[in-house]
Structure 1
Amino acid sequence: MSEEQMVNFLFDINIINSSRAFRNRSELNYYNIKDTLLFKKHKIDSTIFSESNFYYASNPKLYLRIYSKLEIKLKLLKDSLSKDLEIHTKKRIDSLKNFN
């Protein structure tokens, strides 16, 4: 896997793992989604990921670069979601003020 493919795959893994904390009754919950769908999305299989992971783990400078890119990507998502939440919250507060 290229560095960019690793970043994208690890990004999805992080999103899935973080969503596990939010158990809900939705049919779309992670527990109903097989890992194979993640591999299918990225057009790889577990062997390709394992081999790539071993390669990058054997080259710490490369893996550090991958994780630095991953950290930036996760931060961008967090910032975007925080901004959306702030806008949504402000709209709700404004609508409640206008209600009175």
Structure 2
Amino acid sequence: MSKQDMVNILIDLKLLTSATGKSREVLDKHGVEQETYIYKKYNIDSLQFALSNDYYSYYVTEYESIYAKVNDSLSRMKEILSLQQERELKAKKLQDSLAKIAKDSLAIDKKTIDKDSLKVLKADEKNKGKLIPPVSEK
């Protein structure tokens, strides 16, 4: 098995083993078994994986470089996920703020319409369709 295949397999194994809570429930609900999933995805069997794992663990520097790539990839995935979650949180906060502003402005509008405002509105209704009188003679 190539180094890159080993990297990809180890990344998937780390992701699967780290699944908790709701993620674990989803995997269990769909009957996903970690090893079986990996074997099918990469079209390998347990013997191929075991032999490759033994080979790379014998050549420690090779195995270290594989794990360095795995760690780098997982770190990058974590950064991307954090950025996505941060963007989603900001978007939700903005949406909530806009909804609150709209709600508050409607409440303020209702409170600020007093008797004088109603008089102006009634006057506007009387003058509906009429020309607005000029402000000056010019």
Using the size of structure 2 for normalisation, the TM-score is: 0.66
Q: Which residue of 2 aligns with 1:56?
A: 56
C-alpha displacement at 1:25, in angstroms? 7.9
Q: Which residue of 2 aligns with 1:93?
A: 93
Deviations 1:43-84 (A, max 9, x none): 111100000000011111000000000011101110110010
Is 1:29 equivalent to 2:27 in the alignment? yes
Q: Which runs of 5+ in 2 are unaligned?
A: 101-138
Among the aligned pairs, what percent are the same residue?
31
For structure 1, which segment, 32-41 or 80-89, has the greater mean C-alpha deviation from structure 2 after superposition? 32-41
C-alpha displacement at 1:36, in angstroms? 1.6
Question: Considering only CA atoms, is the larger Rg found in Structure 1 or Structure 2?
Answer: 2
CA distance in 2, matches of 1:24, 1:56: 31
Q: Which runs of 5+ in 1 are unaligned?
A: none
Using the size of structure 1 for normalisation, the TM-score is: 0.90
Q: Higher RCO, 1 or 2 (CA under 8 Å, sep at least 6)?
A: 1
Compared with structure 1, are the counterparts of its residues 86 and 23 closer, same or farther at alpha carbon in structure 2 (3 Å cutoff)?
A: closer
Structure 1 runs, 4 residues or longer, greater than 3 Å off: 23-26
Deviations 1:9-60 (A, max 9, x none): 00000000000x225685x324721332221101111100000000011111
Equivalences, count:
98
C-alpha displacement at 1:88, in angstroms? 0.1
